[in-house]
Amino acid sequence: MTERIQLSADVPSEMDNERLDQIAAKLFPDYSRSRLQTWIKKGDLLVDGKQLRTRDKVFYGAQLSIDTEPEQAVGWQPQNIDLDIIYEDAHILVVNKPAGLVVHPAAGHPDGTLVNALLAHSPEMAQLPRGGIVHRLDMETSGIMVAAKSLLAHQDLVSQLQERTVRREYVAVCIGVMTGGGTVDEPMGRHPKQRKKMAVLVVGGKPAITHYRVTKRYGHHTRIAVNLETGRTHQIRVHMAHKHYPLVGDPTYGGRPRIPKGASEELIAALRGFPRQALHARALGLFHPETGEEMNFECPLPTDLQGLLDVLETEDPAVNSDATLY
């Protein structure tokens, strides 16, 4: 028997007197606006037990409830793409995503994504919101991800992410030598002029918190371990650039490669030739959606990032603090 989608949420004061479809999109962000509108029209999404129209105004304190059958996502085709599976059971699937693989079909990437691979591996995931995806990695970021294989798991993992109980640790290589770790607590949103970029916003941004610690200092670079408290798009890349320590290989937020003064040919080649942002999701911790058991997963550094670190180790040794760096 197919699991039903059964959700409810109360309208907070800041959404008072807004349209029903607008409120539903904010309270149930894992579902598209068009799907929510369909449920409203079918009577599968009710307000205080009553069916309303999509444009009707809804007020503070009202309860929105969904009770419907899952629908298979239209247009997402299963594709036989290799998966590096770290763990799998009836409810969750943990994978090591390679750099270059898009997570979710979108404009410019209609197929060949992680979702297409997941649907081929587990066809039942087609009935889940976003094909079981509960969080994302940028296309050129490698590393560990968890996907839901059941509706129970999807709802529970989304709740864990919202409650910030999921542990996510990344390895990053930054330009510049950090003196120590810290926390970046700066709200983020779309760049006001360059809409494909994200930015720190003084006004109108969503909360974004990044914790980082230094694990290795080189002559002109720093390896850091990063823990995310929130999960905004490009969060680590934006926050590190905001601190003036952009990631190696990230022209979007770091500009052109910076070559240290007196760099060897091997170091120059490694820095100029690194094909992506130097960022890898190394570890993931969560509570199992069904059993409540605490689970922790890790995945090794990919070959390209390990190669970069090897070159930095031999070709970019620590220098005196008063030396000219660039």
Q: Are 192 and 304 in contact (CB under 8 A)?
A: no
Q: How far is CA 319 from CA 59, 177, 209, 325, in A?
A: 62, 10, 31, 9
Cα 223 from Cα 140, distance rounded (Å): 18
Candidates 155, 104, 105, 110; CA nearest to 133 is: 104
Given the residues 44, 138, 156, 316, the one annotated as active site: 138
Q: Are 65 and 44 in contact (CB under 8 A)?
A: no
* Cα-Cα end-to-end distance for the chain: 64
Cα 306 from Cα 288, distance rounded (Å): 31
Task: Reply yes or no on whether 185 is catalytic.
Answer: no
Candidates 88, 116, 123, 119; CA nearest to 102 is: 116
Looking at the annotation, which residues are catalytic?
Answer: 138
